[in-house]
Copies of this chain bind each other. A is one copy, B any other.
Amino acid sequence: MTGWLAIAGLGPGDDRLVTPEVTEALAQATDVVGYIPYVARITPRPGLTLHPSDNRVELDRACAALTMAAEGKRVVVVSSGDPGVFAMASAVFEALEDRPDRQSLDIRVLPGITAMLAAAAHAGAPLGHDFCCINLSDNLKPWEIIETRLRHAAKADFAMAFYNPRSASRPEGFARALDIFREECGPDRLITFARAVTTPEERITTVTLGEASPDMADMRTVVILGNSATKRVGRWVYSPRRAG
């Protein structure tokens, strides 16, 4: 048996957003590897071994997946959303750096619907003009870098999508981010909080920066800040195609 490794995105939650390409890889797999809640989305079947693991062990998980593929297994590493956006793809390539012998393995990245695009779709089209995508977690980078990026993005008048806006271990980061946005963009700028998007618990709220408070975001929320032209129409929010 020739082993392979597919790093696949399951989309934000709704199974109707899993691509046929990913469904096909899962149907052929012998092993599925990933963070516990994502592996829980895979239907068990004979011949398939599930390997759920805890958060923050991305490199260990990547190494284990590469080892299984090298042994001849057909391995799918699952991420929520898209594997290339703050998810497992970078971790697998990091793990490959130390193992040149494994760089000839059959490795594919299978894209998925990332949370910001599902959130934008359900809110309207707030990312319909140039935008940034920023991970607000300071686990893997110092806060100073985040702040520099937020200020440049505001001065460039990008719309912005934020992943991991808030966690129990760093409740103050998102409050600081909101202060920076108000300073750079004023109180009238629109901001959308999209929680648990495409799941039965989905809740999407758009307010102004003046009305926004840190507790509007939690670990399951993607936040989208509009640009200077972002506006409401009916029950939607969108960024016009034209600028300047």
What is A's interface to B at a CB cutoff of 8 Å?
11, 14-21, 24, 58, 82-87, 89-94, 96-97, 100, 103-104, 107-114, 117-118, 120-122, 124-135, 140-142, 144-145, 148-149, 152-153, 155-158, 233-236, 238-244
Chain B: CB-nearest residue to A145: B244
Known interface pairs A96-B233, A152-B156; A117-B19 also in contact (CB < 8 Å): no
Contact B21 A20 (CB under 8 A): no
Copies in the complex: 2
Q: Which residues of B contact A158 (CB under 8 A)?
A: 132, 149
Chain B: CB-nearest residue to A239: B90
Chain B: CB-nearest residue to A22: B16
Known interface pairs A21-B17, A112-B113; A89-B233 also in contact (CB < 8 Å): no
Q: Which residues of B contact A238 (CB under 8 A)?
A: 89-90, 93-94
Residue in B16, B120, B241 whose CB lies within 8 Å of A94:
B241
Contact A18 B19 (CB under 8 A): yes
Chain B: CB-nearest residue to A104: B234
Contact A93 B144 (CB under 8 A): no
